[in-house]
Structures are given as structure tokens and as C-alpha cells.
Amino acid sequence: MEYGNEISSSYVSNGSGSVNYVMETGPDPEDLSLSKLSASLETLLVNQEYEVYNDAEIVAEGNVVVGVNRCILAARSPYFHKLFRQHHEDGRKPRFEMSEMVPYGRVGGEVLKVMLHYLYTGRIKASPREVSTCVDGACCHGACGPVVDYALEFIFASATFQIKELVLLVQVNPNHVFALNILPTTCFSTHMNMPLYEILMVYG
């Protein structure tokens, strides 16, 4: 008989029946460590006390300024790695305009924050409903303008910043990514596998 974690159940008989006892195992230590790491890195984004550690800023549409840590973004995205390597230091905190990084598309502040949350934590943050949900009661929700616009911003930013796994996740399960009750599924099923430039021609 083996003991320790290898024991998953024991067999007890009183002659008239048997009972199986299953030993419940606790959370996997590796999963706990990764969850703690994710939460710690999220602190850099959401806790103002940690803004002192930001070494760059990204400016989204609407003059939304978000402080970032270049080492994290460079490690997570080939695009940012190349962008930061090409930047010439002048003693000031670098500021990168989203309009220059994504010259042919629009990326608003809410999309930028969701993207950064994923790059820092590896987890999908629920998209803000106020900017990603159609509130038109007369809309048939076949291709809702607000939802499609937000989704396209998200897809465009994911592709531009070369976050391949996020693009794939959107294509496989858009409802999971956007966490919406109303999503133009007909639109997505038809166009999500198109090349990015074709999607933008259809909805841009």
C-alpha cells in the first residue's frame, strides 16, 4: 500500500456494503504561485501608489494617458520590444502616442486598458459595458455599431501589438473575450476569419 498524496481513496467494508472515501487535494501550488504573480503585476496597473515605478506613458484617443512599465510590455509583445529599442532616451519619461503606433485605426482608452491588463496579468478583463454594449432597444443586434466598433478596436490593437494568442482567442470565443450579453454573432462568424485589412474595409 502506498501512502501520502498518491492515496486518492480507501475501501472500507463491513460485510454488507462498502464506502469509498476520496481524499480532497488542495489547490495546486504552481497555480497558486501563478495567480499570486498575476495579482502582483496587476497592482502596477491599478494601484496609484505604484505609479512611481512607471517608466513610460501611452496616450490613447481622447488624451487618455496610461503609465506603463516598458520591461513588462517588451517581454510580452514583440511590437513593444522593437518600439522601445528604437526609442532614443533624452532624460524625460518617454510618451508614445497611440495614433502613431496604430496610424490606420482607432484605439480608445478603454481598449488600451483591457489590452494592458492582459499583457500584465495574462487574464482577460471584462470589457466595460458602457462602451461595448448596444443600448438601442430597436436594434436587432445583428451588427450593433458600438459592439462592432469596440470589438474591431480590440482586434486591431491585438494584431498591431502582435499578441497572437489574444487574436486567436477572439476568433475562437469572442463572447468570452468581450464578456457581453449582446454580440453580433452573425457578423463575427462571417468575418472573424478574414484578414485584418478586409475586416477593416467592411466595418472601418
Residue 8 CB coordination number (10 Å): 11
**pLDDT given for residue 144 in this prediction:** 64
Q: Which long-range contacts (CB under 8 A, 24 or more apart) does 40-49 make?
A: 41/72, 41/120, 41/121, 42/117, 42/120, 42/121, 44/69, 44/72, 44/120, 45/113, 45/116, 45/117, 45/120
**pLDDT given for residue 15 in this prediction:** 52
Query: Where do runs of H (alpha helix) occur along the chain?
Result: 29-46, 70-76, 78-86, 98-101, 109-121, 129-132, 145-160, 164-172, 174-178, 185-191, 196-203
Mark the ranges of the chain whose per-residue pLDDT is less than 50. 2-13, 180-197, 199-204
In the block, cell 464578456 appears at: 179
User: In the beta sheet, which residues pair with residue 62?
Assistant: none
Domains of the chain listed by start with CATH number: 29-203 (3.30.710.10)
**pLDDT given for residue 131 in this prediction:** 60
HSE-CB for 4 with a 13 A CA cutoff: 2
Phi, psi of 114 (to 5 degrees): -65, -40
**pLDDT given for residue 130 in this prediction:** 63
**pLDDT given for residue 156 in this prediction:** 82
pTM of the model as a whole: 0.70
Cβ contacts of residue 36 below 8 Å, gap of 6+?
A: none
